[in-house]
Amino acid sequence: MLHNFGSINLDHVYRVPHLVHPGETLASRAYQVGLGGKGANQSLAMALAGGRVSHWGRLGRQDAWARDRLADAGVEVTHVELVDEPSGHAIIQVDDHGENAIILHPGANVGFSQGHRDALCSVAQAGDWLLAQNECNALPALFMCARELGLNIAFNPAPMTEEAARLPLETCQLLFVNRVEAAGLVGLPESSDAQALLEGLQQRLPDTETVLTLGGAGAWYQSGGTQLYQPSLPVKPVDTTGAGDTFIGYFMAARQEGRTVSDCLELAAQAAALCVQLFGASESIPHRAGVDHALSQYHANRLA
């Protein structure tokens, strides 16, 4: 089982001609509200990929529909608590090139207590996975408790903060980072090339497997002296929101199936490629059948 200690947000998504400039007032062309949050997106992606995932989260009582959406997709939601605080929410602009800018209000996602941590640690069993992102509180103690229990920790330090860089990351078995997060962890400029970032990560976390995702420039996996490269699949993005989450959810589901790292990377890249072709976060996460079909077509076209 994978336990995802993760955020749940309501995403308010605005379609705009360009990302708003300082001092500018800009009318949006379209607006929708949907389920989001890096945690919820990753749980949903994992369940849609066929994985076994239990989500640990906090959601405002009036937004119980979001919990139902996770449950309908196959996520175990026993530990998604309905609370009196407002849910976390995100204000997301998406421009004509599919790029986004996000303002995050953490809300109920940062109300976790020691009791939640103890509950998770009493249910989880040695060998289970713990997945976390950086949109919830209480991570340092959770990591230490998970480590003592013999859980495997997978961490996505998104959004990147100075506190995230100071977490006991050596407790993690697996780290998912994009360019900004990698640069923040190793103290290099964001413009650094992939090899410099990977080298910095290897020096800081020699015993942690790392997946560095670079959007259209593909993804790298690194473990000790081994590196694997997965190119991104050629698509025209309309909205990149949730693509990284889709990648992580699919990667973890494939890993749970016991697939090779190359297979995990390829499945995750294909799922992310489908995700960016649709508008929205959780709404654009593909089902496994669609991902498998697209992947077999991709291979057939390469052979033709």
What residues make contact with ligand RIB under the rule CB under 6 A? 7, 9, 11, 36-38, 41, 90, 102, 104, 135, 241-242, 244-245, 281
The nearest distance, CB 118 to ligand RIB, in angstroms, is 26
The nearest distance, CB 296 to ligand RIB, in angstroms, is 28
The nearest distance, CB 28 to ligand RIB, in angstroms, is 17
User: Please, what is the end-to-end C-alpha distance for the chain in angstroms?
Assistant: 40
The nearest distance, CB 89 to ligand RIB, in angstroms, is 8
* For ligand RIB, the closer CB: 9 or 202: 9
The nearest distance, CB 134 to ligand RIB, in angstroms, is 10
* For ligand RIB, the closer CB: 94 or 185: 94
* For ligand RIB, the closer CB: 36 or 184: 36
Closest Cα to residue 129, out of 212, 245, 253, 268? 253
Measured from the Cβ of residue 170, the count of other Cβ atoms closer than 10 Å reads 12
Helices (H), the chain: 38-48, 64-72, 114-123, 139-149, 162-165, 179-186, 194-204, 243-256, 261-275, 288-303
CB 130 within 8 A of CB 146: yes
Closest Cα to residue 106, out of 52, 23, 163, 151? 163
* For ligand RIB, the closer CB: 53 or 124: 53
* For ligand RIB, the closer CB: 136 or 145: 136
- Give the distance, in angstroms, between the CA of residue 160 and the centroid of all CA atoms in the same chain: 12
